[in-house]
Structure 1
Amino acid sequence: MLCAVTDKDLIFRFLSRQSELHIYELGDLEDDYFAHTQWYAWDTEGVEALALLYTAQKPATLIAIEDHVEPAYERLLEALLPGLPNELNVHVSPRLAFVFEAAYPVRSCVEHLKMIWRGKADDEPGASEGLLPAGMSLHRLEAGDIPALRDLYAAGYPRNWFDADMFAHGRYFGVRHGEALIAAAGTHVCAPSYGVAAIGNVATHPDYRGRRLARVVSAALCASLSRDVAHIGLNVHAANHAAIAVYRTLGFVDVTRYCELQLSR
């Protein structure tokens, strides 16, 4: 049967059985984010399926990811449908996407890949700096760099998801050419108390592409995070073959695929 769940320990125990699959959800157990979450379970003789509705942004985002065929997830989503918002983003395992067709016209459906880092934890954060051309330098970014970071994203990654709270709760590395910030990588999730982090907001200024700068900042970020968390993951558009190739050279491997749906009714 469908039930709302507020017990953070219960949620953690369920998610941590497959931490690599649920890095974003585990990150949302941090107090600042948990206040913006609603959790729903299908529970007969224990939790069999779990979904997260994240409401901090409009439209809200529903996350329901599995890595094997589990009928309880279908039952959970079908039971949730009548009470979900009319405008909704959904991250869902591909085989479950059909559930929403009964209640929503699907505006878009884009396949993404979840990856997990299997790199070496003893890599030094600055080890990649030797790959940089003369005149460029690698830095861990600070709050004063946020305006330059916003400018970089406006030029090189205008559709990215970034706000100052993500910086305050996360970790960012950047490459400068002189005083100009020309590449950066940061975190969407950084939750050491739950052992997880997810990298994102990886961008290079269009004038500096083709110089492996995304690899440099991502490698430094992973090495730094590996000192504090057990699981480092990311989500990437399945058609972004160039980015996937870079991540694989850093030691990321595939975990699963999911569909990102935009729904409106």
Structure 2
Amino acid sequence: MNLINLRNKKLLAEYFRRDPFLHLYSLGDLDNFFWSKTTYYGVLTGKFVDKVVLVYRGGEMPVLLVLSQPGQIEKEHINQLVQLLPDQMYAHLSPGLETLFARDFSIQEYGDHYKMSLENPDPIFHTSTKNTIPLTKDDLPDINSLYQLSYPDNAFDPRMLLTGQYFAYRKGGRLISIAGVHVYSATYRVAALGNITTHPEYRKQGYGRAVTARLCQNLLNGVDYIGLNVKCDNQSALSLYESLGFLILAKYGEFSLKKRG
């Protein structure tokens, strides 16, 4: 069965909703806010799609998402996919799939990550969010300053401020903690948290917990699925998210891929 470019949102959404937390980014990127930057490849069988992967071109480098249950994506599908991919990209791959790209790409690893899903929102509503504030484009200089100092390898896209899903804490007028989203769709009722950080001088004092809880409280007014990605060895972040009601759902790896030759 051949991989083809898929542009039927209804069929794609049905496929991603079979495993919504695993495919949270791909489902949210069906939203018109992201749609023009996406390319979905998959197999079409009658009125159903399968083995769907996403190439997202919204940043400096394309991002490939190949996320699946064990055995779902096979070597023949990767061999077809390789012919359709850009020469260089960042990639999120389910465990073991990176070996199927090794013949055609040089691969640099960026570590194992967990996908987490919000399963119990009770702790979020029992967390004080006093003095947390929403952010707008007017806050962009302060946002960039905090990220440069505290999270230089962030994937912040200023356009995401338009979603209204960025919250922060200021102390003495200084932005010291922030939580936002990588993906948000009211249409598809999903959100992926991201770009969460606290100034090094103010960590372990509850500010990150407060802004993350405020963000989730706001999101729960309009979405059904809230998830996030976190590096497996980031124990402080894992502990925070678990204390807020998130559970580990799946494991995947992050890589950069560059075509050989």
CA distance in 1, matches of 2:102, 2:110: 11
Q: Identify the match of residue 237 of structure 1 among 206, 231, 241.
A: 231
Q: Does 1:167 align with 2:161?
A: yes
1:52-71 deviation digits (Å, cap 9, x = unpaired): 1112223211111113321x
Distance verdict in 2 for CA 1:197–1:47, change over 3 Å: same
Match runs of 1:140-155 below 5 Å: 140-155=134-149
After TM superposition, list the pairs within 5 Å mapping 1:1-265 onto structure 2.
Answer: 1=1, 2-44=3-45, 46-70=48-72, 72-120=73-121, 124=125, 127-129=127-129, 137-265=131-259
* Alpha-carbon distance, 1:86 to partner: 1.4
CA contact (8 A) 2:4 2:44 kept: yes
Question: SS of the counterpart of 1:94?
Answer: coil
Q: Distance in 2 between matches of 1:198 and 1:170?
A: 14
Taking the aligned partners of 1:258 and 1:113, their CA distance within structure 2 comes to: 6
CA, structure 1 residues 58+74, in 2 after alignment: closer, same or farther (shift >3 Å)? farther
Deviations 1:73-130 (A, max 9, x none): 4432221112321111111101211110010111224211100012336955x94136
Aligned equivalents of 2:164, 2:81: Cα separation in 1: 32
Deviates more, 1:82-91 or 1:220-229: 82-91
Letter in 2 for 1:7: N
Question: What is the CA–CA distance in structure 1 between the aligned matches of 2:186 and 2:77, rounded to whole Å?
Answer: 30
In structure 2, the residue matched to 1:133 is: none
State the AA in 1 paired with 2:111. V
For 2:69 and 2:98, how far apart are their aligned partners in 1?
14
Q: Comparing both structures, which one devotes a greater share of its residues to helix?
A: 1
| Contact 2:154–2:195 (8 Å) recurs in 1 | yes
Structure 1 counterpart of 2:119, one-letter code: R
Q: CA RMSD in A?
A: 1.8
Q: Residues 41, 170 of structure 1: CA spacing in aligned structure 2 closer, same or farther, 3 A cutoff?
A: farther
Q: Is the 8 A contact 1:61 1:90 kept in 2?
A: yes
Q: In structure 1, how many angstroms separate the alpha carbons of the residues matched to 2:119 and 2:196?
A: 19
SS at match of 2:17: helix
Provide, for residues 4-35 of structure 1, a one-character-per-residue CA deviation record: whole Å limited to 9, x for no partner: 11111111111111111111111111113111
Contact 1:38 1:52 in 2 (8 A): yes
Aligned letter for 1:23? L
For residue 43 of structure 1, report the CA deviation from its aligned partner. Answer: 3.6
**Deviation by residue 1:191-210 (Cα, 9 ceiling, x = unmatched):** 01101001111111111112
State the distance in 1 between where 2:188 and 2:177 align.
Answer: 28
In structure 1, the gaps of 5 or more residues are 131-136
Structure 2 distance, partners of 1:112, 1:122, is 24
TM-score, normalised via structure 1 length: 0.91
Aligned mates of 1:14, 1:170 — CA distance in 2: 28
Contact 2:113–2:230 (Cα < 8 Å) also in 1: yes
Q: Quick check: 1:185–1:200 contact (8 Å CA) kept in 2?
A: yes
- Structure 2 CA distance for aligned equivalents of residues 218 and 16 of structure 1: 25
Structure 2 unmatched ranges of 5 or more: none
TM-score, length-scaled by structure 2 = 0.92
